[in-house]
């Protein structure tokens, strides 16, 4: 099969002067693209690097591959992750991961939570705040957390993000709104343990691949934020427990919540769902990543699958197999 890899490298962009130091955090490294390329080559496919943006579009039109392996984060809006799959849809080229509607919906954390909550999943209460002035009518209890409404890789989620009063929150909202040019999603701060759940497949066939607890080293659980600072030096700051060191009933509840959220957002092939308990020990949905990072040895998805014996090559192959099975089902139905 002729597979094109769609991706956006950190080195393709220049952060504007004065931008926060994590402005390009979502983008991939050359090493990640090379690892995917090698994994696909080892499975006997022809592989081309198509990049992202206009370069990807031009290649998609001039030399369409049989399938696009999508890593592209896109740029500039809450629809950015939908750009590549939407272009593929337009020209009739198959693409791994979820469709453009799911990718756009999931990136807008406020909208995604509305859909997931409507399916009966517990979520932290939130308010969308467009400027610090909006906080005059703010009515959630503290502590709170303010985060960019449509970013990932903890962009804009910093060690300082937990706010204990309205003065701290105003500072955080200002930082998010100005630094990332988008509204802040302010949520009740969940003080319990944190988990992430990897899921494969789609619809009734969706199933949990692995789940992991993100366990802070040193920090008290109630204050822990899996921030940019922590993710950059994760081996010093957190322990990863796969499976979580929790009673089976707790793990089952976390995994079931993740599955319901995954199906509610109509994800396909693969996704990673972040879950955290409140002080009441009830798990709540934080967000869903339908295009989870796949940096070898570093991304949560890679860490958790390695711990259950799936190396990076096998992970890439597993995602591809899900896509091919899905495409086979579609063809079978015609
Ligand atoms: N409501 C909340 N209560 C407590 N902690 C939270 C809450 N929302 C986010 N966090 C903390 O901030 C971290 C990052 O938040 P979130 O997962 O929404 O961001 P992200 O950038 O989309 O993450 P990813 O790297 O998974 O794409 C979480 O892993 C969690 O530690
Ligand atoms: Mg997250």
Q: How far apart are CA 308 and CA 323, in angstroms?
A: 21
CB 151 within 8 A of CB 26: yes
Task: Give exposure, 166-177, as e/b (b: 16+ Cβ within 10 Å).
Answer: eebbbebbebbb
CATH code reported for the domain at 2-95: 3.40.50
Q: How far is the CA of 205 from the centre of ligand 2 (A)?
A: 24
Q: What is the pLDDT of residues 95-110, one digit of tens each?
A: 999 999 999 999 999 9
Question: What is the architecture, at CATH level 2, of domain 126-188?
Answer: 2-Layer Sandwich (3.30)
Distance 226 CA to ligand 1 centre (A): 6
Q: What is the pLDDT of residues 145-181, one digit of tens each?
A: 999 999 888 888 988 999 999 999 999 999 999 999 9
pLDDT of 334 over the 60 cut: no
Domain residue spans of the chain = 2-95, 107-121+191-333, 126-188
Question: What is the topology classification, in CATH, of domain 107-121+191-333?
Answer: D-amino Acid Aminotransferase; Chain A, domain 1 (3.30.470)
Ligand 1 pocket, residues with Cβ under 6 angstroms:
124, 145, 147, 151-155, 157, 187, 189-190, 194, 225-226, 274, 276, 286-287, 289
For residue 129, the model assigns a pLDDT of 97
Question: What would the mean pLDDT of 23-33 be, rounded to a whole number?
Answer: 88
pLDDT band at 203 (very low <50, low <70, confident <90, very high): very high
Closest C-alpha among 54, 55, 58, 82 to residue 70: 82
Could you tell me the distance, in angstroms and rounded to a whole number, from the CA of residue 154 to the centre of ligand 2?
A: 6
Nearest CA residue ID for atom 22, ligand 1:
152
Q: Give burial (CB, 10 Å; 0-12/13-18/19+) of 139.
A: exposed
């Amino acid at each position: 099969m002729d597979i094109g890899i769609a991706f956006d490298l950190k080195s393709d962009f220049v952060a504007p002067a004065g931008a926060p130091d994590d402005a390009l955090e979502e983008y991939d490294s050359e090493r990640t693209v090379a690892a995917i390329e090698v994994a696909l080559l080892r499975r006997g496919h022809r592989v081309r690097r198509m990049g992202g943006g206009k370069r990807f579009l031009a290649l998609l039109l001039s030399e369409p591959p049989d399938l696009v392996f999508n890593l592209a984060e896109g740029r500039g809006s809450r629809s950015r992750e939908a750009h590549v799959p939407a272009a593929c849809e337009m020209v009739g080229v198959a693409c791994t991961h979820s469709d453009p509607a799911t990718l756009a919906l999931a990136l807008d954390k406020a909208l995604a939570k509305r859909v997931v909550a409507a399916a009966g999943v517990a979520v932290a209460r939130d308010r969308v705040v467009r400027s610090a002035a909006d906080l005059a009518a703010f009515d959630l209890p503290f502590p709170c957390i303010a985060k960019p409404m449509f970013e990932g890789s903890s962009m804009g989620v910093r060690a300082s993000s937990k706010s204990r009063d309205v003065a701290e929150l105003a500072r955080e909202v200002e930082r998010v709104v100005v630094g990332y040019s988008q509204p802040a999603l302010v949520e009740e701060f969940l003080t319990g343990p944190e988990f992430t759940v990897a899921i494969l497949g789609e619809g009734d066939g969706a199933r949990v691949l692995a789940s992991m607890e993100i366990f802070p080293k040193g920090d008290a659980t109630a204050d822990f934020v899996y921030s940019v600072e922590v993710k950059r030096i994760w081996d010093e700051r957190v322990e990863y427990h796969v499976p979580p060191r929790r009673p089976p009933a707790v793990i089952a509840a976390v995994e079931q919540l993740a599955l319901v959220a995954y199906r509610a957002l109509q994800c396909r092939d693969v996704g990673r769902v972040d879950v955290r308990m409140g002080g009441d020990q009830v798990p709540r949905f934080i967000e869903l990543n339908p295009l989870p990072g796949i940096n070898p040895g570093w991304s949560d998805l890679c860490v958790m699958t390695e711990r259950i014996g799936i190396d990076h090559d096998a992970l890439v192959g597993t995602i591809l197999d899900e896509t091919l099975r899905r495409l086979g089902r579609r063809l079978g139905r015609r």
